[in-house]
Structure 1
Amino acid sequence: MSIDRYSNPLTERYASAEMSYIFSPKFKFGTWRRLWLALAETEQELGLPIPDAALAALRDHLDDFDLKRAGELERQLRHDVMAHVHHLGEQAPEARAIIHLGATSAYVGDNTDLIQHREALRLVARRIVAVVAGLSAFAREHRDLATLGFTHFQPAQPTTVGKRATLWIQDLLLDLEEVEFRISTLRFHGSRGTTGTQASFVDLFQGDGEKAERLTRRIAEKMGFAQAYGVGGQTYPRKVDAACLSTLSGVAQSASKFANDVRLLSHLKEVEEPFEEQQIGSSAMPYKRNPMRSERINALARHAITLTIDPAFTAASQWFERTLDDSANKRIAIPEAYLSVDAVMLLMHNVSSGMVVYPEMIRRRLMEELPFMATENLMMRAARGGGDRQDLHEKVRVHSIQAGLQVKQHGRPNDLMDRIAADPAFGVTRAELEEDLRPELYVGRAPQQVDEFLAEWVEPVLARYPDAVGESAPELKV
């Protein structure tokens, strides 16, 4: 890393080497050369006089490009693709005459972009499943640990820690469906020519348009695509970029929601993200255990979400068969979106695989609020004993307000159960009320929902990605 030039934190600090490689010069220009080889091979297969020596020369120089030399040529030619055409021609003089034959810049540029989308989406899918696997183990372990539920971040009907985790998993499964859809519908651009009419290739094949079309289809197969887009201009539809980054935004949204929940739970001292033995939470306050990993998830997810606007504007502002106001923007927005989401999912994997649960804190907060939630059961019991439901409802309301005031204004314990036990309208003793304050009575089917959800929805997904399931939580750079 140069100390006198800006370096991108996404590659230096946050994202994985795997994702960084997909958007590296080595991957990009190596793919360009493989596309030129596929073009020449297929042109030969379809009858053009491409010498075997030319193909052999191309195969010998797939990855040994010199970026310094390519940069020198680009400064002379002011064209990145032609700089690499000339550079490859210098290295493989036997192939110089047929490199890029009939093609335009978008042949290597756009097809490489699509290949990068495909490989990066596959990595994102793997990241998602690794997190789902970790959260599934967490949900199973805490399937029946009752905890206070929240709506509007106000105390609500209890749930379980495991059930709450299934909500995080469900979001990710929806994201995985989107990612898999994008992968399955991603197509090749092919050899379309300057305006998408394939005119240059029709001319090369002496008017044989069928061969020009077969050229695209065969190259698509060689590059691992089942189909090419039905038509195109010089470029593939820029809506593809917008769709892919929208899918990435969905992943970032799910991760950010998870991180928000962890931060709130950390404040409540109920669940915390991992905190290492020598980790420093604050430079000024040594006692602090700031949820910095979850906060970083929020920060990077925000960047990924906001990047969706770039390809959307690009798709909306293209002119006719091609315009070049996309290129500089794409070079920044698309790699950064993938790198951001990759970093977010690595963080989420790390956090979700090492969350610390504090059952006693969870129980204490639940028991502080449970008397209020038990009143419906108590009211029904008294009504079955002959009481008037509406009168009982009013008594519960009044007792609850008075008990709440004791808690809020005076900091005293919740004495609602004592008030109800002392009210003859309910006909119940304090000991009997204790029986109604068992948390498991108020979580509904939450434990069973965890079991059913994991069996029906999660296990089939994990079975499809055995390699991702086995991945250990990543060690973070910072």
Structure 2
Amino acid sequence: MAAYVMDSVLFCDQFGTQRMRTIFSDESVVQRWLDVEAALARVQGRLGIIPPWAASEIELKARVELIDLAELKREMDRTAHPIVPLLRLMKRVCDRGAGEYIHWGATTQDIVDTGTMLQVRDALDEIEAALRELHGRVRTLSVRYRDQAMVGRSHGQQALPITFGFKAAVWADEIRRHLERLGQMRKRVLVGQFSGAVGTLAALGDRGLEVQQALFAELGLGVPEISWHVARDGIAELVCVLSVCAATAGKIAHEIYCLQKTEVAELEEPFAMGKVGSSTMPHKRNPPACETIVAVARLVRHSVPAAIEAVMAEHERDKMVLQTEREFIPRVCAMTHLVLCKLSTVLDGLSVRPANMERNLFLQNGLLMSEAVMMRLSDTLGRQEAHEIVYRICMEVFEQGGSLKQALMADPAVSSRLGEEEIDAMLDPHAYTGLAGHFVDRVAARSLP
């Protein structure tokens, strides 16, 4: 029985994806440690620091399937250390004493941090691919519904007409910026760690930089200017960037959730027969996918304080912050990937209901178009006077009922300046979407980084 939802057979797919569970599995963690040890041995064998035959043997045996993970766990518990037990097990599986040359000049955090960066790189590849797919879905919606008029809302109330394509284009541009952030972040975050016990590379003498540069070239990671054993700003940036990506997914899902409400009914997440909304109310068509996305996005955002706290590391090494990172890095990556993938699925099967969008444009009997009337009257009355007149008329319609058209025509200050045809034209929401289509075209034309 799982103690945490991400490992639960029942709930795991609501909090992460199989791909992320694989990337951050115990087997992958150990294999990435072994990958770093193997690359270190390979480089040092090539440079003549350790015997080439030993390097070859280490590389040959650096496979997680040769490690008894249960024994590794027992030894980790006994020694209170992650890497020393692994080195001992590797010494056992390596022939001809090659195990004596493993970990030459390295410290535990070098292996753990660099292994983590290899996992993070794999995770970011998946997250970026999911983000690109999501952008494609949103861009398609923006182009398809470029001119579909709908109510624009501010403060939860009807405001002015927009188009659904415009709404989706706002989402698309935000996602594009996240892709830019991911690309910029990679250069700062995907950096290896190999600097010895306190960061000075003292154990390797004048060969230290040579080994460090060759090791990270081998692993495809950046070379740090200096040790980052206690400089965890890169991890904090990773979590912050992933949290804003997840927040965007949560925002879009919440918007769909709101626009699926019975009284609005402009959008609906994918529905198929057999999907049950309630155990007691058979008529319910709930938005569980959107609810999950919003909930999980909140969990990602709530991880940011822990990542910022981890920046406050002590002296030259500090395991306290490393322990917190071990918990939140896999979780943040898994949950971010989950919300991006799940939202793509929602958008792929999204039900868009133009008829209800049209209905809601006229829900307030013309009040939606008050700005158009005010701006037209401003030509002769001035803006402030026009606002006062239209405000008074709108509040009367809001409180007493009727239509804005009738109230405008009955008011001498308006009817003396505007005829019925002119009022009808101003109250047409389809004629007042501004440059919505232009902005859609502009966003759709932008290439991705």
Q: TM-score, normalised to structure 2's length?
A: 0.90
1:320 aligns with 2:315: yes
Q: 2:23 matched to which residue of 1?
A: 22
Q: 1:8 matched to which residue of 2?
A: 5
Pairing partner for 1:343 from 338, 343, 353:
338
After superposition, residues 105-120 of structure 1 pair within 5 angstroms as: 105-120=108-123
Contact persistence 1:190–1:217 (CA under 8 A): no
Give the deviation of 1:80 after TM superposition.
1.8
Counterpart Cα distance in 2 of 1:388 and 1:46: 82
Aligned residues: 439
Report which stretch shifted further, 415-424 or 359-368. Answer: 415-424
Q: Deviations over 1:360-388 (max 9, x none)?
A: 2111111234623445545666787x889
Q: 2:270 matched to which residue of 1?
A: 274
Pairing partner for 1:249 from 218, 237, 243:
243
Q: What letter corresponds to residue 415 of structure 1 in structure 2?
A: S
Report which stretch shifted further, 252-261 or 69-78. Answer: 69-78
Residue aligned with 1:274, SS: coil
Residue aligned with 1:321, SS: coil
Q: Percent identity?
A: 25
Contact persistence 1:10–1:343 (CA under 8 A): no
Q: 1:330 matched to which residue of 2?
A: 325
Contact persistence 2:374–2:387 (CA under 8 A): yes
Contact persistence 2:134–2:343 (CA under 8 A): yes
Contact persistence 1:73–1:87 (CA under 8 A): no
Is the alpha carbon distance of 1:100 and 1:387 closer, same or farther for their aligned partners in structure 2, counting shifts above 3 Å?
closer
Q: 1:93 matched to which residue of 2?
A: 95
Q: 1:212 matched to which residue of 2?
A: 208
Counterpart Cα distance in 1 of 2:321 and 2:404: 65
After superposition, residues 234-313 of structure 1 pair within 5 angstroms as: 235=229, 237-267=231-261, 268-313=264-309
1:402 aligns with 2:391: no
Counterpart Cα distance in 2 of 1:294 and 1:398: 40
Contact persistence 1:10–1:339 (CA under 8 A): no
Give the deviation of 1:420 after TM superposition.
2.7
Contact persistence 1:10–1:336 (CA under 8 A): no
Residue aligned with 2:319, SS: coil
Pairing partner for 1:454 from 434, 444, 447:
444
Q: What letter corresponds to residue 269 of structure 2 in structure 1?
A: E
Q: What letter corresponds to residue 32 of structure 1 in structure 2?
A: W
Residue aligned with 1:275, SS: coil
Is the alpha carbon distance of 1:436 and 1:47 closer, same or farther for their aligned partners in structure 2, counting shifts above 3 Å?
same
Counterpart Cα distance in 1 of 2:201 and 2:430: 69
Residue aligned with 1:325, SS: helix
Is the alpha carbon distance of 1:299 and 1:199 closer, same or farther for their aligned partners in structure 2, counting shifts above 3 Å?
same
Counterpart Cα distance in 2 of 1:79 and 1:377: 70
Q: Deviations over 1:105-136 (max 9, x none)?
A: 11210111122222212221111111110011
Give the deviation of 1:389 after TM superposition.
8.2
Residue aligned with 2:415, SS: coil
Pairing partner for 1:138 from 135, 141, 147:
141
Give the deviation of 1:423 after TM superposition.
4.7
Contact persistence 2:369–2:429 (CA under 8 A): no
> Where does structure 2 lack aligned partners over 5 or more consecutive residues?
none
Pairing partner for 1:194 from 192, 197, 214:
197
Residue aligned with 1:315, SS: coil
Pairing partner for 1:421 from 409, 415, 421:
409
Give the deviation of 1:25 after TM superposition.
1.8
Residue aligned with 2:271, SS: coil
Contact persistence 1:238–1:315 (CA under 8 A): yes
Q: Deviations over 1:2-56 (max 9, x none)?
A: x3x4243367223222212221122221121121111112112222241425513
Q: What letter corresponds to residue 9 of structure 1 in structure 2?
A: M
Report which stretch shifted further, 145-154 or 284-293. Answer: 284-293
After superposition, residues 15-94 of structure 1 pair within 5 angstroms as: 15-52=16-53, 54-64=55-65, 65-94=67-96
Q: Deviations over 1:424-450 (max 9, x none)?
A: 652566565434433221100101210
Give the deviation of 1:195 after TM superposition.
0.6
Report which stretch shifted further, 329-338 or 431-440. Answer: 431-440
Give the deviation of 1:336 after TM superposition.
0.8
Q: What letter corresponds to residue 416 of structure 1 in structure 2?
A: L
Q: 2:163 matched to which residue of 1?
A: 160
Counterpart Cα distance in 2 of 1:423 and 1:245: 58
Q: 2:105 matched to which residue of 1?
A: 102
Counterpart Cα distance in 1 of 2:362 and 2:177: 34
Q: 1:205 matched to which residue of 2?
A: none
Contact persistence 2:369–2:427 (CA under 8 A): yes
Pairing partner for 1:353 from 327, 336, 348:
348
Q: 2:430 matched to which residue of 1?
A: 440
Counterpart Cα distance in 1 of 2:443 and 2:113: 41
> Where does structure 1 lack aligned partners over 5 or more consecutive residues?
203-208, 408-413, 465-478
Is the alpha carbon distance of 1:62 and 1:392 closer, same or farther for their aligned partners in structure 2, counting shifts above 3 Å?
closer
Q: 1:362 matched to which residue of 2?
A: 357
Residue aligned with 1:159, SS: strand
Contact persistence 2:150–2:361 (CA under 8 A): yes
Q: 1:183 matched to which residue of 2?
A: 186
Contact persistence 1:104–1:194 (CA under 8 A): yes
Residue aligned with 1:111, SS: helix
Is the alpha carbon distance of 1:373 and 1:7 closer, same or farther for their aligned partners in structure 2, counting shifts above 3 Å?
closer
Residue aligned with 1:71, SS: helix
Give the deviation of 1:236 after TM superposition.
5.9
